Amino acid sequence: MQHRARGGNGPSPTLTFFRQWLKNPLSVAALSPSGKQLARLMVRELPERPRRVVELGGGTGVFTQAMLDNGIAPAHLLVVELNEELHKFLQNRFPDVNVVCGDARELPAMVESAGFDRDSGVDAVVSGLGLLSMPRTLQRDILRAAFAVLAPEGRMVQFTYGPVSPVPRETLDELGLTVRRGGFAWWNMPPASVFIYQRARSRPITPVRAGDRNGA
């Protein structure tokens, strides 16, 4: 079943987004919402049939809409947006989705009050945050919060303007994370890359047999 956005009488997403960028360029971190090609590449990296997905920095809902169009049920989605105007916009556009106004750093508390912490937790975090323009400490706090709610095999899907991961190697090592590259959205304004972060799995340790130990 496809879940559509509410009718076309509301304010324009592009104009709403641009107004919020004028008020807070560092936090909004883009002049206009992401395009559909990037949204497709983000959704492509989700695990099959995820039960719980959290979206950080929903903006005007480009990724939210793409996830709903890909069959993720509104009840399986929790969207976090810091900006009050954009939060109101999202609530109005997606009345069936749990949209929370708050800071991504407080994710564990929001996940708990939404009941998303039950069973194995969250399968994926889709991040539309401008991680690249954030100070390293803020970036690290957000990654910590995301991996605190993610299931052991969970992943965080992030986009960035530019060809390299927005999270530096030192932060990945400190948090015990791995990164792999997803797709590249040529037609996005500006073009954007997708990166996927997961917990590093330690290599299984093969027990040493008594014979091997004695050099036999």
The encoded tokens of residue 148 equal: 């605190």
Number of residues that bind ligand SAM (CB under 6 A): 22
d(CA 121, CA 198): 15
Q: Which of 46, 54, 79, 86 binds ligand SAM (CB under 6 A)?
A: 86
Q: Is 63 in the site for ligand SAM (CB under 6 A)?
A: yes
What is the closest distance, in whole angstroms, from the C-beta atom of residue 169 to ligand SAM in the complex?
23
Q: Is 53 in the site for ligand SAM (CB under 6 A)?
A: no
Q: Identify the three-state secondary structure at position 3.
A: coil
Number of neighbouring beta carbons within 10 Å of residue 120 = 13
Q: Is 77 in the site for ligand SAM (CB under 6 A)?
A: no
Contact string (CB under 6 A) for ligand SAM, positions 11-30, x = contact: ----------------xxxx
d(CA 57, CA 82): 7
What is the closest distance, in whole angstroms, from the C-beta atom of residue 128 to ligand SAM in the complex?
2
Q: Nearer to ligand SAM by C-beta: 182 or 207?
A: 182
Q: Is 50 in the site for ligand SAM (CB under 6 A)?
A: no
Contact 94, 78 (CB under 8 A): no
What is the closest distance, in whole angstroms, from the C-beta atom of residue 140 to ligand SAM in the complex?
13
Residue 13, preceding peptide bond in cis (omega within 30° of 0): no
Q: Which whole-number Å values give the CA distances from 5 to 89, 90, 94, in the listed order?
A: 11, 9, 6
Contact string (CB under 6 A) for ligand SAM, positions 96-135, x = contact: -------xx-----------------------xxx-----
d(CA 162, CA 191): 7
d(CA 90, CA 54): 14
Q: What is the DSSP string of 126-147?
A: EE-S-GGGS-HHHHHHHHHHHH
Single out the segment in contact with ligand SAM by CB under 6 A; choices: 44-52, 76-84, 177-185, 205-213.
Answer: 76-84
Rule CB under 6 A: which residues touch ligand SAM?
27-30, 33-34, 56-59, 62-63, 80-83, 86, 103-104, 128-130
